[in-house]
Structure formats: C-alpha cells, structure tokens
Structure 1
Amino acid sequence: MTEISTVNPLTLLRPRRKVEGISAILLPFVASGEVDWPSFEAHVERTARCGLTPAVNMDTGYVHLLDAELQDRILDRTRAILGGLPFVAGAFVGDQPGAAFQPDAYLARMDAIARRGGTPVIFQSYGLTRQPGPEIVAAYQQLAAKSDRFIGFELTTDLAPFGAVYDLATYEGMLRIPQCIGAKHSSFHREPEWERLVLRDRVRPDFRVYTGNDFAIDMIMYGSDYLLGLSTFAPDLFALRDTYWEAGDPRFYELNDQLQYLGYFAFRAPSPAYKHSAAQFLQLRGWTSTSQTHPRSPSRPDSDVEVLRELGQRMRVVESREANRE
C-alpha cells in the first residue's frame, strides 16, 4: 500500500494544464412544481456549447428526490439534446441506515445511464459507505465487473447524511479498479484532496480527481479536474476561466476570485440550499422563468437575490473589462 507523507501543495502546481470541466445541471421548476423542461434543455445545451460536460441527475439535479421514471426522462432528454456528445449522470440508490449494499439496484441505474450513452457517477448510500474499507472496495469491484466505465464519488455529510470521505487505503483500492476512470471528491477540504492527487500521481496518473470543493475551485491549479454544482451558475465563465489557466493568462486569478465569492455565499450553511441560490441566480441571468426549487429542498431568503445580483454584476465587469483588452 502506498504511504502518503505531508503534502507540499507547491509541488503539485500544474500551470498551463488543460482542465476537464464537468458541470452539474440544476433541474429547474415552474411555479406549479413541474419541471421546467425548456429551461433544463437550454441549460444542458448551453453547458455543452461552453465546452463543459453536462452532469444530470446529480445532487444539483435533486436526484435523491426523484423517482426512477423521472430520472429516465431526464436521461432521454439529455441524450436527445446532446446528439452523441458526452454526459455523465448520477446512479443513485436510496436506502436507510442499517441497509445492506444493493448491487443489483446500482447496476440497474448504471445500465439505464450507459444505454443512453452516459457515464455513471456512483452516488453513495448507507449500504455502500457503512461497510469496512475492504468491503467498500469489493462493492465497487462488483459493480466494475458488469460495467465498462464509471466515476466514483466521495461526499461530505454536510451535503448528504449517507455520504462518506474514505480513508486513503480505501480510496487507493477504488483507484486501482480499471473501470473506475476517476472520482469526485467533496470533502470541502483541501488537504485530503491534495493527498489524493499525490496518490494518483504515484499509482495511476490517468485517473481523474474531480474536485467537488465549491469552497476551493482553484484546486484545478494543483492537478484536479472538476465536477461542481457551482459551475451550473455560470458555465460560460467557468469555461473562460479554464481557458485562461491553460493559456497561462493572469486574468485567471481575478475571474476565479469572483467565481469563488459566489461559491462562498451560495454554499454557506445549510449547504444543500445552494440549489435555491442557483435557481435565483439563473433567473437573474434570464435562463429560467422562476427561482422555484424542488418542494422538498431547503430554500434561501428572498433577500439573497440582491447579493447574487451584485456578485453577477462583478463577474460581468471582469469579463467585459478583459474582453476589451483583447
């Protein structure tokens, strides 16, 4: 087993690196509580057009609150919109504390995604995460035996009670599964992600560490790619920021700062309410007709709208100023 010592993050800096960006798609709603399909479809298309890979049926898309039929409708519409372009989607199995791991239920969701051309992201569950480390690895191996490719997922309990951040031995076991092409890391802390990058570089350099740290979106500077909920607010500006990083353009830093301010505000406690912040922000941008969320999802106060408006204006000022310099 690989041993990891204290990490010096300066040794991990990867300037001028092409970043792989995956952006979780917010599922918008209209006042009646129905899905706002036109806004959803436009956002999937917009995200792909920006050069980011859309991720549907993720936490940002309320996957834990959707039945399988609605998840499949979302997959069908995503496939139709993208016309063969890549996308990823959450494979979610809802359960309760004390439940056993359910491989057949996972495989059914993974198959539904793969048949439509997507790559599954393995959402955690009580049955998966409450096992000892070796059994967690064995569970992933069981899924891998009947899958061509998938993305793993570590999730802080700040976002979901069934989530878990694995110890490094368990993470290495997952990393060594060929069908697991990468893993989203959502601990909301830098050090464990730096440790994963060191481990990745030593053991399997082609493995993708997708940061899910909406409080540190600059983790791409150290070799992480990303699968973020925050990027659904502004896939166009995230794509521009990524272009600046690849080009070694110092404009990266100010635009990243503005996006990070948005992340700090939107993901404050209770963190799951960021989805309402996203709906408010997308409505301000004219990309949705309402700021409705799923009725079982936590909400933000209306007073947040003016703060979001100012944050959006600041980002636009940065974008406009830099465009005029070109």
Structure 2
Amino acid sequence: MTATTPIDPASLVRPRRVITGMSAILLPMKADLSVDWDGFAAHVSRTSTAGITPAINMDTGYVQLIDDATRRETLRIARDAVGPNGKLVAGACVVDEPGAAFDETAYGRQIEMIVAAGATPVIFPSYGLTAGGDAAMLAGYRALARRMPSFIGFELGTAFVPCGRMLSIEGYAELLQIPNCLGAKHSSLSRRLEWERLALRDRMRPDFHVFTGNDLAIDMVRYGSDWLLGLSTAAPAAFAQRDQWWAAGDSRFDELDDALQALGDFAFRPPVPAYKHTMAQALHLQGLIATDEPHPKSPRRPTTDREIVRTILDRIDTALHAT
C-alpha cells in the first residue's frame, strides 16, 4: 500500500463494534494556579467509573509543562483513584530542543515511572525521536520497546507541538510489526491519513488499535478507530454512552456524536493548544472543578467563550438524555 492508494471509507464502516475509549485527563488548577489535586482525583475517578480508561500526563494534562515530581504525583493519585486493578495509560514525554539527539535514557526514566504505577506508556514525540525521519523514529521505538511490556505509539501533528511527526504509510506498516506496540494514537487531524492507517491495520494486524486523536472528527470510530482524545475530558460519561449506543446499533449515537463534535469544533479552533482552557471552562461550568484556570504557561481563551460552551453543554445533555 502506498500513500496514493485510494480508500473507500464506506468499506471500513464497522457497525455495532465495541469501541475502546481512553480519555486524556485535564490537570485542573486552583485560583492561585497550583494544581487542584482533589479535582484531579475526582476527575480520574469519574472517567474510570464511566468505563473509559484515564490517560494521565498527556497534552491535555500539560505534560510538556510539568516537572517529573508533578508527573509522579499524577500517577500516584490516578492509581489510587482507579484502584489496584484499574486501567491507566500515561504519556512518556521528553522535552528537548531542535537539533537534540534521541535520548533513550531520558525516555527510559519516564517509562520506568509509568510502568511502576501499573500504567501503559504512550510514547510522545520529541525532536530527538522524530528529527531523523521514519527510519530513526522507528529505531527509537524499537529500542524503547525493549524497556517495557507494552506501549502505545503516538503520531502527533505540528498543530499541537512543533516536534510532531507523521510516519509515512510504509513506516506505519513497520510500526505494526513491533509486537508489544498495542496501538498508536493518530493526531494528524486528517481523515484521509487515518483511513489509510485503518485499511492497512485491517490487512496486516487486526488486533492493533488505531486510536483517533482527531478531535475535529470524533466519528472516526465508525470506521474502526478506537479513541484517545482530549475533547472527552469535558464529558467522559457522554462519550461512554455514545459508544454504547454505537455497539447497540442505536440511532441516538448520531445526535450525541454531533453534539460532542460541536464542542470539539469550538474548542479545537486555532490556536489549537488553547483547547485546554476550553476544557477547563467546560468542567468548571458543570461544577466539577474549582476554577477554569489553565496552566499559567498554556494559552487562554476569551472569557466570552463560556456562554458558548454552556450552550453546547446543554445540547450534549439533551442528546445524552434523549429517549
């Protein structure tokens, strides 16, 4: 398969499929801009109770902006919140600079921290991991794979971080051949690129999870994608219900998906990284966190967004309780 091979999306649709969902957890802030640990613990617990796997220390959790001590604390609190047998995944993120070499040792420290908490690592891109093209990126993945029982890869677009990279479809085929890579989050914001990966997955390795990270097209689950999204942090129970309706062949899936997508379209408008403030606004409007403050180094949205977010949340609630 090449990048120019035509894909018929209709052929990929998988009705009544059981969807695997993972939700990136927002790290909420107090009014003094310190971490709201109680709000974080409650949010992790709500997500897990809804049947969604919490994803800790992702972009939504400001992983690029927090230190290792904070990352360890999020893992500790999250493990307590979901219990000893609860599922967790967590970002293994190395913050470096353009021109940096691949730092396997630094990634190893992140992986060790995550595995010690009983979580599955999600390997974030870094300049050192992605700068050398497909071959270097895949060599990095293979080296890291030897350090952990299993992991999730991560293709992240430059709309989110400047060190992001998409593999070629040929490179993706090689990723599928790493046995302990359970799946990969795909955040290109491109349906076409994701459809190509799904078609390749279906032929080469059907048990491999393509986790959509496309918050502008959350209905990619129709075509066989699972999901690991930042948008879902605003309404994990609604995402869980949507997925249950898909598995049941219930037409209420569509209107709830539309309502959730309306929030995604609004939250993930440029500048895309400011979506985290929108997520904080949404959780605060629902009375679930103490403030809607983002991390002090993260971009903000206008206060006037709150009323628009409130209107969309009302639409989600109406769709969620439709009969």
Whether TM-score is above 0.5 comes out as yes
Per-residue Cα deviation, 1:290-318 (whole angstroms, up to 9, x for no partner): 00110000000000000001001111122
SS in structure 2 at match of 1:100: coil
Structure 2 counterpart of 1:13, one-letter code = V
Give 1:210 deviation, angstroms.
Answer: 0.0
Separation of aligned partners in 2, 1:111 and 1:168:
30
CA distance in 2, matches of 1:91, 1:319: 34
- Partner residue of 2:165? 164
* C-alpha distance in 2 between matches for 1:217 and 1:224: 9
Q: Structure 1 unaligned runs (5+)? A: none
Contact 2:231–2:264 (8 Å) recurs in 1: yes
- Aligned residues of 1:280 and 1:291 also touching (Cα < 8 A): yes
Could you say which residue in structure 1 is the equivalent of 2:77? 77
Identity over aligned pairs, percent:
52
Alignment coverage as a number of residue pairs = 321
Letter of the 1:91 counterpart: A
Q: Matches of 1:261 and 1:118 in 2, distance apart?
A: 31
Contact kept, 8 Å, 1:58 with 1:90, in 2: the verdict is yes
- Per-residue displacement from partner, 1:58-84 (whole Å, max 9, x unpaired)? 000000001111100111111111112
* Superposition deviation, residue 319 in structure 1: 2.2
Give, in angstroms, the shift of residue 132 of structure 1.
2.5
Q: Which residue is equivalent to 2:250?
A: 249
User: Which residue is 2:105 aligned to?
Assistant: 104
Residues 232-261 of structure 1, C-alpha deviations (whole Å, 9 max, x = no match): 010010000000000000010001000001
Q: How does 1:86-105 map to 2 (within 5 A)?
A: 86-105=87-106
Structure 1 CA distance for aligned equivalents of residues 220 and 10 of structure 2: 12
| Preserved contact between residue 136 and residue 170 of structure 1 (Cα < 8 Å) | no
Deviation at 1:119, TM superposition (A): 0.2
Please name the residue that 2:216 is paired with.
Answer: 215
8 A Cα contact 1:175 1:204, kept in partner: yes
Alignment partners' CA distance in 2, 1:315 and 1:73: 32
Secondary structure of residue in 2 paired with 1:65:
coil
The within-5 A match list for 1:108-147 is: 108-147=109-148
| Correspondence 1:60 to 2:60 | yes
Name the structure 1 match of 2:11. 11
**Which amino acid in 2 is paired with 1:124?**
P
SS of residue paired to 2:64: helix
Residue 33 (structure 1) aligns with: 33
Partner Cα separation in structure 1 for residue 117 and residue 317 of structure 2 = 36
Q: For 2:274, what is the secondary structure of its paired residue?
A: helix
Over aligned residues, Cα RMSD in angstroms? 0.8
* SS of aligned partner of 1:98: coil
Distance 2:10 2:319 in 1: 27
**Counterparts of 1:276 and 1:132 in 2: how far apart (Å)?**
33
Structure 1 residue 3: Cα displacement: 4.4
Deviation of 1:33 after TM superposition, in Å, equals 1.1
Note the C-alpha offset of 1:123: 0.3
- Offset at 1:136? 1.4
Q: Quote the residue 1:176 is aligned against.
A: 177
Tell me the alpha carbon deviations over residues 1-31 of structure 1, each in whole angstroms, 9 at most, x when there is no partner. x446210000000000000000000000001
Cα deviation 1:50-103 (Å, max 9, x = unaligned): 000000100000000011111001111111111120100000001000000011
Counterpart residue identity of residue 108, structure 1: R
**Once the 2 structures are TM-superposed, how far is the Cα of residue 137 of structure 1 from its aligned partner?**
1.1
CA distance in structure 1 between the partners assigned to 2:54 and 2:133 by the alignment? 33
Question: How many angstroms apart in 1 are the aligned matches of 2:78 and 2:320?
Answer: 29
Aligned to 1:45: 45
- In the aligned structure 2, how far is the partner of 1:228 from the partner of 1:14? 20
Letter in 2 for 1:315: I
Tell me, in whole angstroms, the C-alpha distance in 2 between the residues paired with 1:306 and 1:3.
Answer: 46
Task: Verify the 8 A CA contact 1:103 1:139 in the aligned structure 2.
Answer: yes
Amino acid at match of 1:217: I
User: What SS class does the counterpart of residue 120 from structure 1 fall into?
Assistant: strand
Show the counterpart of 1:292: 293
Q: Secondary structure at the match of 2:295?
A: coil
